[in-house]
Structure 1
């Protein structure tokens, strides 16, 4: 479902979902090494930018336009639990945003991330992405990672295997078309995973990623509360869950503007994971 309808759906299902915040034994993923900021970017965009720009600190690798084309990513190992945090040197964190892209809020989040030269992961829903492909192209140009969050944000553990496959594969196709390459990360809505979800994600070439710190911004608790949750949960290796769609996300936009510079001032390196695991 789209935009504000997702909030009602979430409230109905969240109590029964298998939320995997910091529970269980966390797998870890490896951080992208720190890169020096790039002060200017040629005034081009979309496919032209991806052809014109050379690999740089500004554009993380691998990104759209580099390397041989492929119709489908290689199958990954089937895991039995998602990654919850990352490994790496120093005070590295990952910011993730779910349910978008939403033209009301995602552009503001992208502007803030660009202002501070920070990369993030956007777990997009296919039904939102298909109507906002320009925002996925903008994410590619800015060096962000786009992950798969299904087509309609259903509780996958209540669906048949064929329905799960359809929800995930359709979204892969939209991301590949708009972002420039297939997604390599998948996040189950509501944090609800089962064997079929892990297997299908692996068949489509994706690794499962959950989170360590849940901002609970979808409950619209107030900007200050969201900021406090992110800052109190900040620690080396954590993955922060926020949202850029699914309801009124103005608090999430304002909160990012407040906690991001504070995290950077506290010497946290806000980064994205590489495709190498421990």
Structure 2
């Protein structure tokens, strides 16, 4: 919601995707896309030999894949491309051009398993390079440390370390870091430092933006203990925040997104 509001108000909005997200895609989704590429090539008379070979290799691997077995590189690449396409689709829906979409592919994530490598200097440097290139006035990062498989925490640590190291830079004097929470929990009402209200139409726009991430709908790989879809969790949480503000005697809105400023 805030993402779309910033774009509509004419700000220069950039999005940095820290990881490929490739382990959070179902196997059948990867096969469906690989099959599509083969069919596409065949339909338009494009040399299909390599695509067919990759599809057969992926199909054979996934057919015999054991529980918790790490995907072969080809399958991981396909899954990463699916997430990348979905991310770009959401950005285009919001109105962000390709030149302002940044896929960082932090190395810590690329193990192919739930367990990641420790955060390294290279991860922090990539994050610093992007921040220094853009010189933003505001940074929004996920402060969702209840993420059950820990990726959000490592991603946040990369941002916090990068910001600390960049602090002496002049442009950082006018840069605020805002933390939001996503699918897992919300800030306490006593912690919230900025609340962005949304009307019913904006709630629906947010839902449509989330729906662009098709591989994360209709039951996902890392659902957690909450059986609701991510969009349902987000809407319920934003509505509950708005209701709390209403109960405190403030203006009533359909929903609210909440942020906490991180002091560095």
- With structure 2 as the length reference, what TM-score do the two structures score? 0.32
The structure with more radius of gyration: 2
Task: Name the structure where strand makes up a greater proportion of residues.
Answer: 1
Which of the pair has the greater relative contact order for Cα pairs under 8 Å at 6+ separation?
A: 1
